[in-house]
Amino acid sequence: EAGVAQSPRYKIIEKRQSVAFWCNPISGHATLYWYQQILGQGPKLLIQFQNNGVVDDSQLPKDRFSAERLKGVDSTLKIQPAKLEDSAVYLCASSTGLGHKSEQYFGPGTRLTVT
């Protein structure tokens, strides 16, 4: 079974530029998560989708971050414009359903460096 795929793996941009990350979850997984992991910290949830609907985006900085999952499968996370403090690893995860009994499977992440 293929795991969660993410691209690109690495990205370097200058502040005020825009960037987009892509995630392909495990086939059949209805729930998709985007996490931000700043160096030296644990992952922090940015947004959670159930199929193509948003379940939780309370920690998403909506003035610069956006995410979509139009067909309930792939998802993109965009930052526009980027700030220095956005430098982090962005992790995508998927699970079969809502609730913590549904194990989350994580992708390898995209490491973003903003200069």
Partner 1 sequence: AQSVTQPDIHITVSEGASLELRCNYSYGATPYLFWYVQSPGQGLQLLLKYFSGDTLVQGIKGFEAEFKRSQSSFNLRKPSVHWSDAAEYFCAVGPLNSGNTPLVFGKGTRLSVIA
What is the binding site for partner 1 (CB under 8 A)?
3-4, 33, 40-45, 48, 55-56, 59, 91, 93, 98-101, 103-109
Residue with tokens 């995860």: 93
Classify residue 39 by burial, with Cβ atoms within 10 Å: 0-12, 13-18, 19+.
exposed
Residue 81: CB minimum distance to partner 1, A: 26
Closer Cβ to partner 1, 63 or 103, answer by number: 103
Closer Cβ to partner 1, 14 or 31, answer by number: 31
Residue 47: CB minimum distance to partner 1, A: 10
Q: Work out the end-to-end distance of the chain between its first and last CA atoms, rounded to an integer number of angstroms.
A: 37
Closer Cβ to partner 1, 71 or 100, answer by number: 100
